[in-house]
């Protein structure tokens, strides 16, 4: 009897998971089907399989060139990779010491600052991009990837700060203190003990920063003025305009854009599960 | 060089709470000092202040004659074992042991030699390449000690290092720490709330309460001559019994109690009488106290009886506890009344609860044999015993 | 925040006044290698861009020959970012030297002082253009640009499908409806949009707006047009819920005899399709006084010149070069290249001589000549929203044409009501100054407290750790948001902003004088937003926690694979998700309806009713958000000690008890901050609402953020009003999350509790 019950429970569990799996994968399969179909006509049907398998959309997206005949895809892939990686790096780099201070020190204005940081997440950016444009102009960073990185990195900063702070909070203070007793300065203790231990949490924070930079296009399109500086989502966006939409190209582009993030998710799934809640550091 | 430690007027406030209220303590080289007290008494904060992890609001700290009050921990040359062990989870045992030396940029060969030495001292040789998460609790504890030892500090700080171990292991490591102390000849400052550790390890005990030192002295002496009711009740298990007694001429009386006092001892009319469970003996006649048994616990080699002496008003807190022989546990039962003879009683003032002295009685005689006056100086060794 | 930072509009002058320190002499775009470089921006799709590029190349070659080399840097800007980019770039001098846009935005650019007049008419252009098209580029009596090409709707006819009967009138198509096999539509036509339906209104003699900018789509003529649309739909002449995409799909796949579409459809038609271009069908029995011709709107694509603060000698040369390029592109030589290489329906009359081979393009041009240029009046752009909604209401059968049009006119009046009168800012300045003084007073008093000074002194080392991050956030997050928030006290456009005090807020909070719960009122939208947030977060948590519990069964077969696959939705950009789901909810071609009909249900018009449209949004956002909760829960589950369950089992607890008495309380500390954060994100989840339902039907599924964006750009760029909306969103969120645990703020307690559990 108990064996039978376990079997039934197990089958039921798998059934439920499959139900959600279908829900989760169905739209993705549609995008894939669309990307590998020939032409632009989606068919009305239940199963997401490509009609007339073809790689033409991928070809068109990947081989696209600009007015001078330069190969755009490689260029924009490089821009995107550079921008997103630099954003993740800069964001985490700026956030780490500040998050450590928020976790370990008490100082005047700490609670207010934290509230304020949170508040920035609540304010819709309806009216922020023109002032941002002016700031970048002042810094002479318009039309540069570094300017874009700066904007992305700072806008991901508040969340990175919260995320890293909770990571550091899960690392016992005893560790820093042990290192300090062992002869380390505060900075050394931080660098040699806390940072290595916080690696999973840092990886997740970097992943989030990477992701938001990787997917953004409105600010990128506003701040960049040369096609060779454009990032991939801008390219993707050009396939989804009102009149000139090309869903096949869009789907192929969407897959190409999503793939790196999917791979990162796959590689970091362990850290993701641990890093979001506990900082992933249990003795 | 062996270091001595001197604390003068240490005060520390955390938030609104005054944690340390003026601590003075002189530690001689090579001494094993145990800081003991209930939780919240400030013993850990005091230890952390010595380590440099907290900066005192007032007072000075000298280690080896050097004023370190405002020096960061790394310049104090101390070794510390944390309650949580605080092993670096990303480093192997070997790297944990070598961490301090690497920070000092010592020669790799020398580091390796030192690590081996410490590992063999603690039996960690086989574990050197493991990570802390792969170790058992006892092994982690050893690594934590090894990490402190490896840097050869002259002053060791222990913050409740055994509290996360099970009882058997705790006894084992306790002995080991004692052995290490002898071997390393270092000064050790050890924080615990466990009185067994306090009694067995300490050269001198420092009993703390609410940020103040209550008594300092050799363990047995503090046990025998607690300077006040708090110290008396804190040390010893089961804890000392207290009864409120009146003095009628040369007799001490309370419900269920009657004790003949030696002559010439001045006491207030009413005061507190303390009797350790271990200081009573069951007698059929000449009993000082009469007790009605409620519960009796057999420990094998002895037993403890819990019950009432006289009526409620005389008792100050909890049931009266008496140590009896192991065979008594089988003979006695609930409701039985027994007579008890107190071999040693402590007198405490009702108001400030300071010790008024203690009196010893000979088991076969009604007359007391000795009276010790309260200790004059807290750190003074040896009580004055006056034969009668 | 990043993703939601969409377009917004001009309050540059405000910034100029309020934050002069922002303006350090801005660097000029540098010329390269001796040749004068000028910049040209456009928002063309790929095919049209090719034509432009070819023409520009020819221009460069000629300039080279003439010994005054000019380099032209062409930048294609995504359509969605075009307007905001121009508005941000031009006033700072970082704009292009010339840009291409449709003439219907001309008046807006002029009002915002973003473009300068074309200047003296070069005689060589005499007779080059149709005066009608040149006129479309005139506003306030001044010519602002040169026409490049003309776009209007035409009739595409599938030669294979067309029966051998004349198809010249609407009635011909109505007759066709009964004779065609199932699945083939007579006429793929997006009648539900203002742009698509304009030709029919025109045929009945109705006009959208008059010279003075009054809404004129009222009365029997307009109503008759609407009745006709109803009939077309009822008789199955046109497909329901026709969108540009549907028109394209139907015609391209051979499922429509004819389609009403613009030149943009042609490149998507495969070689196997035999088609031709014709003028739109006529009305066989025209109403009195009308010709019966269906004349669509024509849009003139023109090249404009950004206004610029003169900065030196080189500018003159650049201006001349830009002018030369514009003339070259517009005039016959450049136009011919554009037509041949990019299929542009060029405006140049002379160019068509020598283009006799381009049969289809000529047909487009013929149609364009008949078309009515869209009114240049700036209020024309505000007609679209209200009229779209009126048409859809009529077609859904919710309202009769008369009342629907009256409602549209009210809505138009409401959305174009004059901005609040300017207020004297002195009061605000005095108030602000005194507030500042009070703050300063308290700050000083605190500083005088010696104990505070000690704490402050002790805080100094910590500041060294946080300063750089806070400065960066202040400069690039707080400051832009703050300036944005300040615009909520202003009204107007471009450089003509004026201070209006709290008028924007009062307008919003009093629902602009209409019923407090009337459609589109702040309170109703707030209600929808709250419902949206609660349902979403509840579903995220329920699904996320359920899946995490299922996945946490230790001996689950395939567990790692399940976990990765279930996280996938998170890895996809949310605009891709939104567009994909929108496609799946399509009435005709959506997979959701395909599934429904496969299991025997009627297909659902998802965006015709509030409940279904809201559900569609909800499903999309649930799909997007559950992996986050699942992952958080998975992490939190690993920290629950197993022995708790064992103890509970010993105590006789059922699995149900275990869940409610152990799992839930133990998950709370980790989940609560995630829920708070998720609620904030969902509350402002612009992309899903904007892209999936787009507020349909009738704006009922809008949430506060999407409503704010509509005011910021589809309703005449009322940036101050939109800013007031976002400040209110902020206030609502801030007040409702006060006291709730926030990510990173409660974790400390969590850690401590854990420590206890381990000890």
Per-residue model confidence (pLDDT) at position C682: 92
How near does any CA of chain A get to the CA of B79, in Å?
A: 7
Per-residue model confidence (pLDDT) at position B363: 67
Query: Is C631's CB within 8 Å of A272's CB?
Result: yes
Do residues B160 and B192 lie in contact, with contact meaning Cβ atoms separated by under 8 Å? yes
Same domain assignment for residues C315 and C252: no
Same domain assignment for residues A45 and A172: no
Query: Is A154's CB within 8 Å of C475's CB?
Result: yes
Closest CA to B250 of B237, B238, B266: B266
In a domain, A144, yes or no: yes
Residue B347, strand partner residues = B273, B357
How near does any CA of chain C get to the CA of A181, in Å?
A: 19
Residues of A in contact with B80 (CB under 8 A): 177-178, 181
Same domain assignment for residues C591 and C693: yes
From CA C625, how far away is CA A72, in angstroms rounded?
A: 33
Per-residue model confidence (pLDDT) at position C698: 82
Per-residue model confidence (pLDDT) at position C749: 38
Tell me: pLDDT of C199 over 80: yes
pLDDT band for position C11 (50/70/90)?
very low
Q: Of the candidates A16, A124, A216, which has its C-beta nearest C684's C-beta?
A: A124
From CA C350, how far away is CA C340, in angstroms rounded?
A: 14
Residues of C in contact with A156 (CB under 8 A): 2
Same domain assignment for residues A100 and A141: yes
DSSP H/E element including C458:
helix C450-473
Domain, as residue range, for A23: 1-54
Contacts of B258 (CB under 8 A, 6+ apart): B251, B252, B288
Same domain assignment for residues A152 and A219: yes
Dihedral sign computed on CA atoms, order C224, C225, C230, C236:
positive
Query: Is A185's CB within 8 Å of B72's CB?
Result: yes
Pairing of strands B257-260, B251-254: antiparallel
Pairing of strands C297-306, C145-152: antiparallel
Same domain assignment for residues A267 and A139: yes
Tell me: pLDDT of A97 over 50: yes
C146 SS3 class: strand
Condensed to tens digits (0 to 9), the pLDDT of residues C124-172 reads 888 889 888 899 999 988 999 999 999 999 999 998 888 888 888 899 9
Tell me: pLDDT of C30 over 80: no
Residues of A in contact with B51 (CB under 8 A): 177, 181
Same domain assignment for residues A222 and A123: yes
pLDDT band for position B166 (50/70/90)?
confident
Mean pLDDT (chain B) is 86
Residues of C in contact with A166 (CB under 8 A): 743-744, 747
- Look up residue C12 and give its two tokens: 């540059």
From CA C620, how far away is CA C583, in angstroms rounded?
A: 11
Most C CBs within 10 A among A109, A127, A175, hence the mutation to make, goes to A127
Contacts of A257 (CB under 8 A, 6+ apart): A214, A215, A232, A233, A236, C573, C576
Condensed to tens digits (0 to 9), the pLDDT of residues A20-74 reads 999 999 999 988 888 888 766 556 677 777 777 888 888 888 888 776 777 888 8
Same domain assignment for residues C393 and C287: yes
Which residue, of C444, C470, C491, is where some domain finishes? C491
A197: closest chain B residue by CA:
B90
Contacts of C699 (CB under 8 A, 6+ apart): C389, C519, C520
End-to-end Cα spacing for chain A: 40
How near does any CA of chain C get to the CA of A196, in Å?
A: 18
> What is the count of residue pairs from A and B with beta carbons less than 8 Å apart?
70
- Look up residue C517 and give its two tokens: 């719960």
Do residues C127 and C50 lie in contact, with contact meaning Cβ atoms separated by under 8 Å? no
Do residues B261 and B342 lie in contact, with contact meaning Cβ atoms separated by under 8 Å? no
Query: Is B51's CB within 8 Å of A185's CB?
Result: no
Same domain assignment for residues C38 and C116: yes
End-to-end Cα spacing for chain B: 47
Residues of A in contact with B133 (CB under 8 A): 282-283
Tell me: pLDDT of C754 over 50: no
Same domain assignment for residues C243 and C386: yes
Per-residue model confidence (pLDDT) at position C54: 92
Same domain assignment for residues C181 and C257: yes
Burial class (CB in 10 A: 0-12, 13-18, 19+), C93: middle
Per-residue model confidence (pLDDT) at position C13: 30
pLDDT > 90 in chain C, percent: 31
* A26-30, A134-138, B204-208, C628-632, range with the lowest pLDDT: A134-138
Mean pLDDT of C261-280: 85
Contacts of C454 (CB under 8 A, 6+ apart): none
Residue matched to tokens 């390269």: C32
* A23-27, B17-21, B140-144, C29-33, range with the lowest pLDDT: C29-33
Same domain assignment for residues C245 and C309: no
Chains with 3 or more CB pairs under 8 A to chain A? B, C
Query: Is B99's CB within 8 Å of A182's CB?
Result: yes
Query: Is A183's CB within 8 Å of B86's CB?
Result: no
From CA A148, how far away is CA A135, in angstroms rounded?
A: 12
Q: Of the candidates A178, A184, A188, which has its C-beta nearest B82's C-beta?
A: A178
In a domain, C9, yes or no: no
Which residue, of C714, C729, C748, is where some domain finishes? C714
Q: Of the candidates A177, A199, A281, which has its C-beta nearest B86's C-beta?
A: A177
B51: closest chain A residue by CA:
A181
Per-residue model confidence (pLDDT) at position C98: 93
Query: Is C680's CB within 8 Å of A41's CB?
Result: no
Per-residue model confidence (pLDDT) at position A78: 93
Per-residue model confidence (pLDDT) at position A8: 86
Tell me: pLDDT of C485 over 90: no
Mean pLDDT of C541-569: 86
From CA A135, how far away is CA A131, in angstroms rounded?
A: 6
Chains with 3 or more CB pairs under 8 A to chain C? A
Query: Is C639's CB within 8 Å of A282's CB?
Result: yes
Mean pLDDT of C470-499: 84
Three-state SS letters, chain B: CCCCEEEEEEEEEECCEEEEEEEEEEECCCCEEEEECCCCCCHHHHHHHHHCCCCCCEEEEEECCEECCCCCHHHCCEEEECCCCCCCCCCCHHHHHHHHHHHCCCCHHHHHHHHHHHHHHHCCHHHCCCCHHHCCHHHHHHHHHHHHHHCCCCEEEEECCCCCCCHHHHHHHHHHHHHHHHHHCCEEEEEECCHHHHHHHCCEEEEEECCEEEEEECHHHHHHCCCEHHHHHHCCCCCCEEEEEEEECCEEEECCEEEECCCCCCCCCEEEEEECHHHEEEECCCCCEEEEEEEEEECCCCEEEEEEECCHHHECCCCEEEEECCCHHHHCCCCCEEEEEECEEEEECCCCCEEEEEEEECCCCCCEEEEECCCCCCCCCCCCEEEC
Same domain assignment for residues C471 and C332: no
Per-residue model confidence (pLDDT) at position B387: 36
Query: Is C565's CB within 8 Å of A25's CB?
Result: yes
Per-residue model confidence (pLDDT) at position B299: 85
Same domain assignment for residues A93 and A14: no
In a domain, C618, yes or no: yes
Same domain assignment for residues A83 and A216: yes
Same domain assignment for residues C258 and C170: yes
In a domain, A60, yes or no: no
Query: Is A182's CB within 8 Å of B84's CB?
Result: no
Same domain assignment for residues A205 and A229: yes
C125 SS3 class: helix
The CATH number of the domain holding residue C317 is: 3.40.190.10
Per-residue model confidence (pLDDT) at position B258: 85
Query: Within a 10 A sphere around the Cβ of B179, how many other Cβ atoms?
Result: 11
Condensed to tens digits (0 to 9), the pLDDT of residues B70-120 reads 899 988 889 999 998 999 999 999 999 999 999 888 899 999 999 999 999
C42 SS3 class: strand
A93: closest chain C residue by CA:
C469
How near does any CA of chain B get to the CA of A189, in Å?
A: 10
Domain, as residue range, for C208: 154-295+379-415
Q: Of the candidates A42, A151, A211, which has its C-beta nearest C249's C-beta?
A: A42
Predicted TM-score (pTM) of this structure = 0.83
Residue matched to tokens 């149900």: C656
Most B CBs within 10 A among A106, A170, A173, A178, hence the mutation to make, goes to A178
C23: closest chain A residue by CA:
A138
Question: Apex CA C14: angle with CA C12 and CA C17, to 5°?
Answer: 115
Same domain assignment for residues A126 and A211: yes
How near does any CA of chain A get to the CA of B105, in Å?
A: 11
How near does any CA of chain C get to the CA of A142, in Å?
A: 9
Mean pLDDT of A252-266: 90
Do residues B232 and B346 lie in contact, with contact meaning Cβ atoms separated by under 8 Å? yes
Of residues C272 and B91, the one with the higher pLDDT is B91
CA-CA-CA-CA dihedral for C44, C50, C51, C52, to nearest 10: 60
Same domain assignment for residues C565 and C696: yes
Tell me: pLDDT of C590 over 60: yes
Most A CBs within 10 A among C27, C469, C727, C745, hence the mutation to make, goes to C469
In a domain, C730, yes or no: no
Mean pLDDT (chain C) is 84
Same domain assignment for residues A212 and A75: yes
Per-residue model confidence (pLDDT) at position A33: 87
Same domain assignment for residues C411 and C440: no
Contacts of B336 (CB under 8 A, 6+ apart): B292, B293
In a domain, A64, yes or no: no
Per-residue model confidence (pLDDT) at position C198: 93
Most A CBs within 10 A among C582, C744, C752, hence the mutation to make, goes to C744
The domains located in chain B, with CATH, are 5-224 (3.40.50.300), 238-375+382-387 (no CATH)
Per-residue model confidence (pLDDT) at position A128: 75
- ω before C697 within 30° of 0 (cis)? yes
From CA B164, how far away is CA C260, in angstroms rounded?
A: 80
pLDDT band for position A243 (50/70/90)?
low
pLDDT > 90 in chain B, percent: 43
Most C CBs within 10 A among A5, A9, A124, hence the mutation to make, goes to A124
Per-residue model confidence (pLDDT) at position A268: 85
Residues of B in contact with A170 (CB under 8 A): none
Q: Of the candidates A21, A97, A125, which has its C-beta nearest C4's C-beta?
A: A125
Per-residue model confidence (pLDDT) at position B374: 63
Same domain assignment for residues C328 and C281: no
Do residues B206 and B335 lie in contact, with contact meaning Cβ atoms separated by under 8 Å? no
Query: Is A177's CB within 8 Å of B104's CB?
Result: no
Q: Of the candidates B78, B90, B132, which has its C-beta nearest A181's C-beta?
A: B78
What's the number of domains chain C is made of?
4
What's the number of domains chain A is made of?
2
Per-residue model confidence (pLDDT) at position A282: 35
A175: closest chain B residue by CA:
B86
Condensed to tens digits (0 to 9), the pLDDT of residues B60-83 reads 999 988 999 989 998 888 999 999
- Look up residue A40 and give its two tokens: 């632009």
Condensed to tens digits (0 to 9), the pLDDT of residues B282-310 reads 888 888 888 888 888 888 888 999 988 87
Closest CA to C714 of C7, C58, C2, C3: C7
In a domain, C63, yes or no: yes
Burial class (CB in 10 A: 0-12, 13-18, 19+), C92: buried
């Amino acid at each position: 009897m108990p064996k039978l019950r376990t079997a039934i429970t197990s089958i039921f569990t798998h059934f439920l998971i499959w139900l959600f799996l279908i829900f989760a994968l169905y739209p993705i399969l549609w995008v894939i089907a669309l990307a590998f179909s020939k032409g632009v006509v989606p068919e009305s049907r239940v199963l997401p399989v490509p009609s007339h398998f073809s790689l033409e959309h991928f070809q068109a997206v990947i081989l696209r060139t600009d007015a001078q005949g330069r190969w755009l895809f490689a260029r924009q892939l490089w821009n995107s990779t550079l921008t997103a990686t630099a954003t993740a790096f800069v964001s985490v780099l700026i956030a780490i010491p500040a998050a450590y201070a928020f976790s370990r020190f008490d100082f005047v204005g700490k609670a207010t600052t934290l509230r304020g940081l949170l508040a920035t997440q609540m304010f819709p950016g309806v009216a922020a991009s023109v002032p941002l444009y002016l700031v970048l102009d002042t810094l002479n960073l318009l039309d540069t990837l570094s300017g874009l990185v700066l904007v992305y990195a700072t806008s991901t900063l508040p969340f990175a700060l919260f995320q890293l702070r909770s990571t550091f909070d899960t690392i016992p203070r005893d560790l820093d203190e042990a290192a300090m007793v062992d002869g380390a300065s505060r900075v050394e203790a931080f660098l040699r003990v806390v940072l290595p231990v916080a690696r999973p949490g840092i990886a997740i924070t970097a992943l989030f920063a990477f992701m938001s930079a990787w997917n953004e296009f409105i600010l990128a399109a506003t701040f960049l003025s040369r096609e060779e500086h454009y990032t991939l989502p801008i390219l993707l966006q050009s396939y989804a305009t009102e009149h000139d939409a090309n869903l096949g190209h869009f789907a192929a582009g969407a897959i190409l854009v999503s793939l790196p993030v999917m791979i990162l998710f796959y590689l970091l799934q362990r850290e993701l599960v641990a890093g979001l809640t506990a900082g992933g550091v249990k003795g | 060089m062996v270091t001595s430690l001197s604390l003068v007027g240490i005060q520390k406030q955390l938030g609104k709470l005054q944690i340390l209220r003026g601590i003075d303590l002189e530690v001689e080289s090579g001494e094993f000092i145990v800081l003991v007290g209930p939780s919240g008494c400030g013993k850990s904060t005091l230890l952390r202040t010595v380590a440099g992890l907290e900066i005192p609001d007032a007072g000075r700290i000298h280690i080896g004659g050097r004023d370190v009050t405002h020096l960061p921990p790394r310049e104090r040359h101390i070794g510390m074992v944390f309650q949580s062990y605080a092993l670096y989870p990303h480093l192997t045992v070997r790297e944990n042991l070598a961490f301090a030396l690497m920070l000092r940029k010592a020669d790799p060969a020398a580091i390796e030699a030192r690590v081996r030495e410490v590992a063999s001292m603690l039996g960690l040789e086989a574990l050197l390449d493991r990570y802390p998460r792969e170790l058992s609790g006892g092994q982690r504890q050893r690594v934590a000690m090894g990490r402190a030892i490896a840097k050869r500090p002259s002053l060791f700080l222990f913050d409740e290092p055994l509290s996360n171990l099970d009882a058997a292991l705790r006894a084992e490591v306790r002995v080991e720490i004692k052995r290490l102390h002898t071997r390393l000849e270092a000064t050790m400052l050890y924080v615990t709330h466990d009185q067994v550790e306090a009694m067995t390890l300490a050269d001198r005990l420092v009993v703390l309460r609410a940020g103040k030192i209550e008594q300092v002295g050799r363990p047995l002496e503090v046990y025998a001559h607690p300077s006040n009711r708090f110290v008396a009740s804190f040390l010893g298990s089961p804890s000392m019994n207290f009864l409120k007694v009146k003095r009628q001429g040369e007799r001490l009386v309370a419900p269920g109690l009657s004790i003949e006092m030696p002559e010439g001892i001045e006491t207030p009319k009413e005061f507190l009488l303390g009797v350790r469970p271990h200081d009573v003996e069951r007698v059929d006649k000449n009993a000082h106290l009469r007790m009605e048994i409620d519960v009796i616990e057999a420990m094998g080699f002895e037993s403890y009886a819990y019950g009432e002496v006289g009526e409620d008003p005389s008792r100050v807190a909890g049931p009266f506890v008496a140590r009896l022989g192991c065979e008594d546990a089988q003979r006695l039962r609930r409701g039985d009344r027994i007579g008890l003879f107190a071999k040693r009683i402590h007198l405490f003032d009702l108001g400030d609860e300071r010790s008024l002295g203690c009196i010893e009685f000979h088991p076969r005689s009604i007359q007391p044999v000795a009276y010790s006056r309260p200790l004059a100086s807290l750190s003074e060794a040896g009580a004055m015993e006056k034969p009668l | 925040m990043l993703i939601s930072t969409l377009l917004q509009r001009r309050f540059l002058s405000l910034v100029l006044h309020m934050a002069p320190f922002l303006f350090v002499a801005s660097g000029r775009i540098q010329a390269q290698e001796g040749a004068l470089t000028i910049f040209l921006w456009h928002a063309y799709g790929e095919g049209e861009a090719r034509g432009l590029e070819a023409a520009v190349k020819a221009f460069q070659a000629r300039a080279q020959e003439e010994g005054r080399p000019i380099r032209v840097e062409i930048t294609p800007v995504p359509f969605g970012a075009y307007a905001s980019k121009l508005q941000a770039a031009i006033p700072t001098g970082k704009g292009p030297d010339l840009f291409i846009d449709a003439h219907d935005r001309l008046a807006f650019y002029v009002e915002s002082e973003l473009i300068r007049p074309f200047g003296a008419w070069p005689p060589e252009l005499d007779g080059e253009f149709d005066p009608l098209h040149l006129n479309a580029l005139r506003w306030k009596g001044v010519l602002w640009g040169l026409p490049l090409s003309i776009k209007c709707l035409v009739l595409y006819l599938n030669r294979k499908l067309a029966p051998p009967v004349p198809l010249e009138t609407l009635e011909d198509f109505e007759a066709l409806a009964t004779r065609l096999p199932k699945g083939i539509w007579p006429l793929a036509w997006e009648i539900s949009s203002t742009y698509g339906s304009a030709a029919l209104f025109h045929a009945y003699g109705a006009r959208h707006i008059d010279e003075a900018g009054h809404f004129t789509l009222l009365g029997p003529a307009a109503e008759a047009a609407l009745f006709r649309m109803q009939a077309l739909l009822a008789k199955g002449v046109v497909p329901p819920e026709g969108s540009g995409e549907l028109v394209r799909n139907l015609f391209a796949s051979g499922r429509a005899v004819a389609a009403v579409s613009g030149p943009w459809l042609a490149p998507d038609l495969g070689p196997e399709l035999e088609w031709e271009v014709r003028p739109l069908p006529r009305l066989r029995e025209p109403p009195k006084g009308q010709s019966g011709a269906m004349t669509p709107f024509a849009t003139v694509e023109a090249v404009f010149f950004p206004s610029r603060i003169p900065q030196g000698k080189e500018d003159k040369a650049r201006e001349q070069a830009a002018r030369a390029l514009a003339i070259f592109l517009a005039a016959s030589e450049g136009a011919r290249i554009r037509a041949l290489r990019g299929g542009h329906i060029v405006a140049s009359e002379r160019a068509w001589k020598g283009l006799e081979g381009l049969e289809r393009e000529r047909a487009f041009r013929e149609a364009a000549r008949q078309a009515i240029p869209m009114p240049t009046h700036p209020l024309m752009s505000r007609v679209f929203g209200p009229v779209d909604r009126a048409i859809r209401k009529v077609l859904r059968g919710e309202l009769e044409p008369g009342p629907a049009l009256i409602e549209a006119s009210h809505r138009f009046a409401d959305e174009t009501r004059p901005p609040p009168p300017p207020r004297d800012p002195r009061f605000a300045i005095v108030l602000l100054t005194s507030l500042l003084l009070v703050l300063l007073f308290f700050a000083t008093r605190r500083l005088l407290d010696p104990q505070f000074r000690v704490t402050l002194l002790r805080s100094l080392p910590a500041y060294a750790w946080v300063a750089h991050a806070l400065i960066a956030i202040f400069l690039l997050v707080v400051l832009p948001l703050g300036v944005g928030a300040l615009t909520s006290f202003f009204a107007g456009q471009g450089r003509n902003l004026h201070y209006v005090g709290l008028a924007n807020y009062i307008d919003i909070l009093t629902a602009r004088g209409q019923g407090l719960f009337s459609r589109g009122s702040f309170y109703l939208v707030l209600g929808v937003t709250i419902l949206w947030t609660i349902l979403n977060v509840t579903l995220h948590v329920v699904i996320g926690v359920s899946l995490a519990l299922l996945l946490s069964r230790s001996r689950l077969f395939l567990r790692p694979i399940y976990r990765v696959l279930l996280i996938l939705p998170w890895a996809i950009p949310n605009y891709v998700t939104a567009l994909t789901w929108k496609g799946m909810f399509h009435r005709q071609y959506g997979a959701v309806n395909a599934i429904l009909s496969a299991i025997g249900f009627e297909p659902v018009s998802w965006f015709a009713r509030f409940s279904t449209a809201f559900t569609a949004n909800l499903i999309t956002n649930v799909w997007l958000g559950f992996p986050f909760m699942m992952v958080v829960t998975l992490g939190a589950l690993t920290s629950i000690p197993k022995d708790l369950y064992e103890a509970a089992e010993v105590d006789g607890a059922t699995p149900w008890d275990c869940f409610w008495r152990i799992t839930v309380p133990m998950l709370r500390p980790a989940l609560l901050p995630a829920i708070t954060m998720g609620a904030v994100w969902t509350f402002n989840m612009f992309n899903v609402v904007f892209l999936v339902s787009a507020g349909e039907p009738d704006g009922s599924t809008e949430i506060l953020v999407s409503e704010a964006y509509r005011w910021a750009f589809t309703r005449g760029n009322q940036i101050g009003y939109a800013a007031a909306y976002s400040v209110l969103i902020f206030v609502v969120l801030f007040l409702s999350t006060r006291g709730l645990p926030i990510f990173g703020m409660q974790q400390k307690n969590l850690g401590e509790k854990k420590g206890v559990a381990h000890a």
